[in-house]
Chain A
Amino acid sequence: MAAVESKQAQQVFIRPDGKEKVTGVGRYTADLNLTGQVHAKFRYADHTHARITRIDASKARALAGVFAVLTHADVPEVRYGGMVQDRLMFAKDAVRFEGDIIAGVAALTPEIAAQAAALVEVDYEPLPAITDYESAMAPGAQLIHSDWESYGAEDMGRDGNVLGHSTVIRGDADAAMATADAVVSGRYVADASQGAPIEPRAIIAQWQGDKVTVWTSTQVPFAARTGVATVLELPESHVRVVVPLLGGGFGSKCDFHFEGHVAALARAARRPVKLVFSRHEEFIAPDHRREGMAVELETGVRKDGTIVARRARLVIDGGAYCGEGGFFAQMAAMHAIGPYQMENVSIDSYLVYSNNQPSSSIRAPTAPQACWAVEQHMDEVAAAIGMDPVELRRRTLIERGKASATGQIMDEIGIRETLEAAAEMIGYGQDLPDDEAIGVACGWWPSFGVNSGAYVKLNGDGSGTIITGAMESGTGAVMGLPILAAEVLGMKPEDFSILYQDTDAGPWDMGSSGSQTTFNNGRAVICAATEVREQLLDMAEKELEASRGDLEIADGVVRVIGSPDKSISIADLAGSGTPLLGKGSGDVPEAGPSDIASHCIGDLGLTAFLAPQLITHAAHVKVDRDTGVVRVLRFAAAHDSGKIVNRIGADGQVYGGVMMGIGQALTEGTTFDSEGRQINPHLLDYKLMTASDGPEIMIHWEEVVTPNAGPKGSKGVGEPPSVPTSGAVGNAIAAVIGRHVNQLPMTAERVWATSQENGQ
Chain B
Amino acid sequence: MSATYLAAASVEEAVNALKGGARCVAGGTDIVVGHRQGKKPLPASIVAIHGIDALRGIAAAGAGLRLGALATHEEIESHAVVRERFTGLADASAIVGSRATRANGTIGGNVMNASPAMDTGAPLICLGATAVFQGPGGTRSIAVEDLFAGPGQTVASADELLIAVDLPAPALGTGSAYVRLEYRRQMEIAIVGVGAAVTIEGGKVTAARVAITALAPTIHRVVAAEAALVGTDGGRDAAAAAAAAAAAGSAPISDVRGSADYRRAMAAVMARRAIETAVARALGGQVSIPASTSTFAAV
Contact with B along A716-760 (1 / 0, CB 8 A): 000000000000000000000000000000011100110000000
Smallest CB–CB gap between B246 and chain A, Å? 14
Residues of B close to A627: CB separation below 8 A:
181, 266, 269
State A691–B186 Cα separation when bound (angstroms). 9
Residues of A close to B183: CB separation below 8 A:
629, 666-667, 687, 747-748
State A383–B130 Cα separation when bound (angstroms). 59
Query: Counting CB contacts under 8 A, is B256 at the interface?
Result: yes
Contact A680/B256 with A687-B184, A693-B185 known, Cβ cut-off 8 Å: yes
Contact with B along A499-537 (1 / 0, CB 8 A): 000000000000000000000000000000000000000
Query: Counting CB contacts under 8 A, is B5 at the interface?
Result: no
Smallest CB–CB gap between A432 and chain B, Å? 13
Residues of A close to B297: CB separation below 8 A:
435, 622-626
Checking B186, B256, B259, B296 against A624 with a beta-carbon cut-off of 8 angstroms, the contacting residue is B296
Query: Counting CB contacts under 8 A, is B284 at the interface?
Result: no
CB <8 Å contact, A685 and B182: no
Smallest CB–CB gap between B187 and chain A, Å? 6
Query: Counting CB contacts under 8 A, is B258 at the interface?
Result: yes
| 17 pairs, CB–CB < 8 Å, chain A vs chain B | A280-B37, A622-B297, A626-B299, A627-B181, A629-B182, A666-B183, A682-B37, A684-B189, A685-B257, A689-B184, A690-B185, A692-B184, A692-B186, A693-B186, A747-B183, A748-B183, A753-B262
Query: Counting CB contacts under 8 A, is B38 at the interface?
Result: yes
Question: In the complex, which residue of chain A has the Cβ closest to the Cβ of B297?
Answer: A624
Residues of A close to B186: CB separation below 8 A:
690-693
Query: Counting CB contacts under 8 A, is B265 at the interface?
Result: yes
Number of residues on chain B facing chain A (CB within 8 A) = 23
Residues of A close to B262: CB separation below 8 A:
749, 752-753
Pairs A-B, 7 closest by C-beta atoms? A624-B297, A692-B185, A690-B186, A692-B186, A749-B262, A626-B269, A679-B256
Query: Counting CB contacts under 8 A, is A671 at the interface?
Result: yes
Residues of A close to B296: CB separation below 8 A:
624, 629, 631
CB <8 Å contact, B185 and A749: no
**Size category of the binding interface on chain A:** 20 to 34
Q: Which residues between 260 and 287 of chain B lie within 8 Å of chain A, taking CB atoms?
A: 262, 265-266, 269
Q: Which residues between 186 and 220 of chain A lie within 8 Å of chain B, taking CB atoms?
A: none
Smallest CB–CB gap between B244 and chain A, Å? 14
Interface class of chain B by DSSP = loop
Beyond contacts A687-B183, A749-B259: 7 other A-B pairs, Cβ-Cβ < 8 A, are A666-B184, A671-B256, A679-B255, A682-B37, A689-B184, A690-B187, A692-B185
- A residues sitting closer than 8 Å to B (CB atoms) are 278-280, 435, 622-627, 629, 631, 666-667, 671, 679-680, 682, 684-685, 687, 689-693, 747-749, 752-753
Smallest CB–CB gap between B178 and chain A, Å? 16
Smallest CB–CB gap between B82 and chain A, Å? 23
Residues of A close to B258: CB separation below 8 A:
748-749
CB <8 Å contact, A667 and B269: no
- B residues sitting closer than 8 Å to A (CB atoms) are 37-38, 98, 181-187, 189, 255-259, 262, 265-266, 269, 296-297, 299
State A626–B258 Cα separation when bound (angstroms). 15
Question: In the complex, which residue of chain B has the Cβ closest to the Cβ of A434?
Answer: B299
State A687–B182 Cα separation when bound (angstroms). 11
State A468–B265 Cα separation when bound (angstroms). 57
Residues of A close to B182: CB separation below 8 A:
629
CB <8 Å contact, A629 and B256: no
Residues of A close to B257: CB separation below 8 A:
685
Smallest CB–CB gap between B256 and chain A, Å? 5
Smallest CB–CB gap between A103 and chain B, Å? 20
State A689–B299 Cα separation when bound (angstroms). 25
Residues of A close to B266: CB separation below 8 A:
627
State A19–B193 Cα separation when bound (angstroms). 42
CB <8 Å contact, B269 and A629: no
Checking B184, B255, B269 against A693 with a beta-carbon cut-off of 8 angstroms, the contacting residue is B184
Smallest CB–CB gap between A279 and chain B, Å? 8
Question: In the complex, which residue of chain B has the Cβ closest to the Cβ of A623?
Answer: B297
Smallest CB–CB gap between A247 and chain B, Å? 18
Smallest CB–CB gap between B214 and chain A, Å? 13
State A279–B37 Cα separation when bound (angstroms). 8
Smallest CB–CB gap between B212 and chain A, Å? 16
Among A435, A625, A629, A679, which residue has the most Cβ atoms of chain B within 10 A?
Answer: A629
State A470–B299 Cα separation when bound (angstroms). 53
CB <8 Å contact, B184 and A280: no
Smallest CB–CB gap between A262 and chain B, Å? 22
Residues of A close to B259: CB separation below 8 A:
749
